[in-house]
Amino acid sequence: KAGVTQTPRYLIKTRGQQVTLSCSPISGHRSVSWYQQTPGQGLQFLFEYFSETQRNKGNFPGRFSGRQFSNSRSEMNVSTLELGDSALYLCASGASGGVTDTQYFGPGTRLTVL
């Protein structure tokens, strides 16, 4: 079974631009969660999607948004990029998105904002 894939793996943008990251979960998984990882803040939860609906959201500004498609693939968008958005963005896939779920992570997208 193929694992979680994320594209692109690396991205360099400048302040004020916007960016879209993509995540394809494990086949059959319906939950996709997004995390931001920075050296100072650790792993921070962005949001979770299940069956195309956002079920959970972390404490991030509205510049961070996402969506999930009918095939469970998910995209995350960050608008008006700031230097502080430089981070590793990790996507996690889960079968059902409930408390019993194990989250399986992709390799991440490393975003650098100049």
Partner 1 sequence: AQKVTQAQTEISVVEKEDVTLDCVYETRDTTYYLFWYKQPPSGELVFLIRRNSFDEQNEISGRYSWNFQKSTSSFNFTITASQVVDSAVYFCALSETTSGTYKYIFGTGTRLKVLA
The secondary structure of 10-52 as a DSSP string is EEEE-TT--EEEEEEPPTT--EEEEEEEETTTEEEEEEEEETT
100 makes contact with partner 1 (CB under 8 A): yes
Q: Which of 6, 81, 74, 90 is nearest to 42 (CA)?
A: 90
97 makes contact with partner 1 (CB under 8 A): yes
Of 14-22, 40-48, 64-72, 77-85, the window that binds partner 1 (rule: CB under 8 A) is 40-48
| Cα 51–Cα 54–Cα 60 angle in degrees, nearest 5 | 150
102 makes contact with partner 1 (CB under 8 A): yes
86 makes contact with partner 1 (CB under 8 A): no
Residue of the chain from 78, 87, 90, 113 that contacts partner 1 (CB under 8 A): 90
30 makes contact with partner 1 (CB under 8 A): no
Residue 79, exposed/middle/buried by CB under 10 A (0-12, 13-18, 19+)? Answer: middle
Residue of the chain from 2, 59, 70, 98 that contacts partner 1 (CB under 8 A): 98
Residues of this chain that interact with partner 1 (CB under 8 A) are 33, 35, 42-43, 45, 48, 55-56, 88, 90, 92, 97-108, 110
